[in-house]
C-alpha cells in the first residue's frame, strides 16, 4: 500500500512539473514606481504614475473578426519611454515619448481573435506619466 501511494504521489508531482513548465510567459512586468494606478480590461488599459522605472505589460483581447485599431493617448513629465505592442508574435514600436511630451494616435487596422500585448519600457526614471490604450472598430 505504501508503495502504491508513493507511485501515485510521484506521478502527480511529475504531471504537475510538466504542466507548470508548459506555461509560457511571453512578456513580464518588472518595475519600481510611486503612486501608480492601473486598469486593464479586455478592451481598455491605462497606467498613471508619479514616478516609474522599468517595464510594465498590459494584455488586451481582440474579440471578433471586425477590423480593429489600437488607439492611444500618452503624456510624460520627465524622462523617456518607448511603448511597443505585439499582435502577431512581433514586437512593434507604437510610440516614443520624451520629457514634457504628449501624443495620441492609433495603429493600422488589424483583424483576428488574438491577445494584444502593450509593453511600456522606460529609459531610466520617469515622472508624471499617463498612458491609455483602447481597442476600437476601424473606421
Residue range 6-19, pLDDT digits in tens: 656 666 665 555 54
For a pLDDT cut of 90, what percent of the chain falls above it?
60
Residue 52 near residue 36, CB atoms below 8 Å = yes
- pLDDT band, residue 126 (cuts 50/70/90): very high
**pLDDT at residue 40, rounded to an integer:** 93
Rounded CA-CA distance 128/35 in Å is: 10
pLDDT tens digit sequence for 70-95: 999 999 999 999 999 998 788 999 99
Residue 34 has a CB neighbour count (10 Å cut-off) of: 10
- pLDDT band, residue 56 (cuts 50/70/90): very high
- If one compares 42 and 112, the residue with the highest pLDDT of the two is 42
Beta strands in the chain (DSSP E): 30-34, 37-40, 44-61, 68-78, 80-86, 91-98, 102-106, 115-122, 126-137
Domain chopping of the chain, boundaries = 27-137
Residue 66 near residue 77, CB atoms below 8 Å = no
pLDDT at 21 over 50: no
DSSP 37-65: EEEE-SSEEEEEEEEEEEEEEEEEE--SS
Question: What is the signed CA dihedral for 115, 22, 119, 40, rounded to 10 degrees?
Answer: 60
- If one compares 128 and 136, the residue with the highest pLDDT of the two is 128
Query: What is the homologous superfamily of the domain 27-137 according to CATH?
Result: Galactose-binding domain-like (2.60.120.260)
pLDDT at 52 over 80: yes
**pLDDT at residue 112, rounded to an integer:** 78
Amino acid at each position: 500500500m505504501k508503495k502504491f501511494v508513493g507511485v501515485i504521489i510521484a506521478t502527480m508531482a511529475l504531471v504537475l512539473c510538466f504542466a507548470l513548465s508548459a506555461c509560457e510567459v511571453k512578456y513580464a512586468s518588472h518595475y519600481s514606481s510611486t503612486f501608480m494606478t492601473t486598469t486593464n480590461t479586455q478592451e481598455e488599459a491605462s497606467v498613471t504614475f508619479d514616478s516609474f522605472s522599468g517595464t510594465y505589460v498590459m494584455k488586451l483581447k481582440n474579440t471578433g473578426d471586425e477590423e480593429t485599431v489600437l488607439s492611444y493617448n500618452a503624456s510624460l513629465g520627465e524622462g523617456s519611454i518607448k511603448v511597443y505592442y505585439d499582435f502577431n508574435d512581433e514586437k512593434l514600436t507604437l510610440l516614443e515619448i520624451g520629457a514634457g511630451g504628449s501624443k495620441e494616435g492609433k495603429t493600422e487596422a488589424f483583424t483576428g481573435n488574438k491577445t494584444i500585448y502593450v509593453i511600456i519600457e522606460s529609459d531610466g526614471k520617469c515622472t508624471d506619466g499617463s498612458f491609455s490604450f483602447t481597442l476600437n472598430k476601424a473606421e
